[in-house]
A and B are shown apart, each in its own frame.
Chain A
Amino acid sequence: MSALPSYVGPLERAWYYGFRILCGLIFIFLIAPILIIVPLSFNAQPYFTFTPEMLALNPEAFSMRWYLDVLANGMADPNAPFSAAWLADSWNNGQWIHSMKNSFLIAVSATVIATTLGTLAALGLSRPEMPYGDWIMGLLISPMIVPLIISAAGMYFFYSYIGLASTYLGIILGHAALGTPFVIITVTATLAGFDHSLTRAAANLGAKPSTTFFRIIMPLTLPGVISGALFAFITSFDEVVLVIFLSSFEQRTIPRQMWSGIREQISPTILAVATILVIMSILLLTAVELLRRRSERLRGISPS
């Protein structure tokens, strides 16, 4: 596939290049919609398309105004001169800033719960002596499979009944439940490749079980646990259906704010927020990729 031998006929040659062009187009379909919003978020005009000036690369057609709006939206006095007081006003009153704080608070708490419980369960599930392993695995993975609208509706009734609706705790518990399948899957996948002769070797060399756990098992499984945690984090950070049903205005997250922005008055501010989120996902993706490589290196699997 990688190199074309000299003896192939014109038909095969055409197929070889045609196939690569087709794949190129599919990759463009995948990535272009995400990249297109980055330049558009610097539009000086309140439009969602490239103005002729932008295409001419006229510097005046570009501006940071929508990014400023992300900070300023909801402020008590957005027209005040830029100063520490302006920033403080934005930090305390800005709508997007408020949703950002909520998003991080909820996502971090949900991730801590999901990772702790999920890792423990994965340790149990990956042992062969686990009773009813497949059934329990199916049950624990189901939050990933059950349509979000059903989970959201169920939690809405039940959490209202026990007084958790419109509270941070309710959303955190819901998001933790949605995040655990990702932790279980990544950690069991890491443990599946775990060489158990290492623990026996450690015991043989005189290590106590606790020493074995902290010195052998943990360093080898930690990359899997962290990437599971990152999955749980992004699941919560990106989740909006549960938030629509369970939150009041106070608990609005970024996706919730975008949802009403798109439905009510779509403005290029959304594109600025979207660009920030794209940069965040690039950072997360890089982190997961580095972890995966590190885990492979530790276990002696070298990429060719």
Chain B
Amino acid sequence: MAIAENINKSNGGDDVMRTADGTPLKLSLQRAQRRQKQRTFFLVVPLLVFILFSFVFPILNMLTRSVEDPQVVSYMPNTLKALEDWDGESLPGEPVFEAMAQDFKIGRENKTIGRVGKRLNYEESGMRGLFNKTGRRIDKIETGPWKQAFLDIDKKWANVKTFTIIQRHDSAYSASYYIAALDLKQNEQNEIVRQDEERRIYVSLFLRTFGVSFLIAVLTLLLGFPIAYLMANLPLRYSNLLMILVLLPFWTSLLVRTTSWIVLLQSQGVINDVLVAMGLIDDENRVQMIFNMTGTIVAMTHILLPFMVLPLYSVMRTIPPSYMRAARSLGANQFVAFVRIYLPQTVPGISAGAILVFILAIGYYITPALVGGETGQLISNIIAYHMQRSLNWGLAGALGSILLLSVLVLFGLYSRFLGLRGLKFG
């Protein structure tokens, strides 16, 4: 009786279900679920913070470099201001040169004018030399007329194009690295046109990287499909033994595997020796199989093959053999049954493996650098070159973000169609 009274009291007249302390049941459940959600989320927070700090933020930071263009704005402010009234066609007048002399003197003192020269050298070769030379000489001149002084130092200052290039960098952010990364350039009229024929490198390198990665995905599929099929149809006892042959390369150091391909394929290496011993080739005409594109493709196919076999195998294991038998007993021959019944069921495995191999291949750096020679380099290698050698970090950032974008699009496709929760190793 007491309980019924209690319920009546806490109901307050309406017919909402309530807990013992009088809050509506719905609200209480929501609260409990929210607490549960928060508790779950807190488990992920430490790693999330760690990954954001040590991984995501550094990459975003590098990508912003590809649009930053601060040199001219920060170190030649007077020149840019004086160029505001310039018509862009005839050589600028004395005020511009006077402002420039001021910028050069300050830049020379702070040792910053060389950075402007280095930056503008990416747009037009010879600018670095021009800026260094002018900086040195203009320092000794005390009074104008400045226009004549500049023209006496170098006749490139009589060239309108020089000022077009300076004026183009009037913003601290620009797309110019992306323009360069896509083999484009800006001409004197500030129109975007294609780079000169002999200076187009990046687009063809991107296309080559995609082409090679596609070829490697196809090769790993051709090699991986038969062995995955064999293993999936053997009793587990035997297939586990064969699996070791797939997993051992997977667990072996990348550099070990690359080294062994150098040992096997080089012109004084094992395969050439065998071919010579068999009399198939002359000792003089040993086949050049490494330090070119062939070496890159062979070594990368070998290295990435386990990434194809593992998803294929795990999908094939789940296909009931009775389907094939049913197809055979309904009159299909072995070939038709395979193509119409078995193959369609392996498609999730094929796409998982192919996308995985393709994603890993387009970002490969170590193997092409070691066995690729001059012709077997991929896009990662040119990014490393701009990072370490030419120190053109903006261009490295622009090339990197194009590469990253293509990888993320593929990764998005992968998780959309195949789901991340099914990802497994070993």
Contacts and interface: CB of A to CB of B under 8 A. Distances in A.
B27 interface: no
A149 B363 contact: yes
B370 A274 contact: no
Contact of B262 (A151, A238, A262): A262
A261 to B, nearest CB: 9
Interface string A42-53: 000001111000
B252 A277 contact: yes
Interface stretch (A60-68, A82-90, A175-183, A197-205): A175-183
Given A148-B365, A304-B236, A130 B41 contact: yes
A140 B45 CA distance: 11
B270 interface: yes
Nearest to B306: A30
Interface residues of A, number: 96
A22 B37 CA distance: 53
Contacts of B253: 237-238, 255, 274, 277, 281
A278 B252 contact: yes
A37 B256 contact: yes
Interface string B384-412: 10010000010011001001100110010
A284 interface: yes
19 contacts: A2-B233, A37-B256, A48-B266, A48-B269, A50-B270, A120-B44, A121-B47, A127-B40, A130-B41, A131-B41, A140-B44, A142-B411, A150-B403, A154-B58, A186-B425, A227-B426, A278-B252, A281-B252, A304-B235
Interface string A130-151: 1100101111111101111111
Contacts of A123: 43
Interface residues of B, number: 91
Contacts of B364: 147
Contact of A31 (B249, B365, B383): B249
Interface stretch (A73-81, A93-101, A210-218, A263-271): A263-271
Interface stretch (B49-57, B169-177, B182-190, B196-204): B49-57
A180 B51 contact: yes
A259 B54 contact: no
A121 B43 contact: yes
B245 to A, nearest CB: 5
B62 A150 contact: yes
Contacts of A155: 54-55, 58
B141 interface: no
Given A123-B43, A157-B65, 4 more contacts: A138-B411, A140-B51, A147-B364, A147-B380
A157 B40 CA distance: 34
Contacts of B259: 37, 258, 262, 270-271, 274
B48 interface: yes
A214 to B, nearest CB: 17
Contacts of B305: 30
B58 A147 contact: no
A153 B400 contact: yes
B263 A40 contact: yes
A146 B57 contact: no
Contacts of A47: 268
A189 to B, nearest CB: 5
B44 A30 contact: no
A36 interface: yes
B223 A26 contact: yes
7 smallest beta-carbon distances between A and B, as pairs = A147-B363, A124-B43, A158-B58, A154-B58, A1-B233, A154-B59, A121-B47
A297 interface: no
A249 interface: no
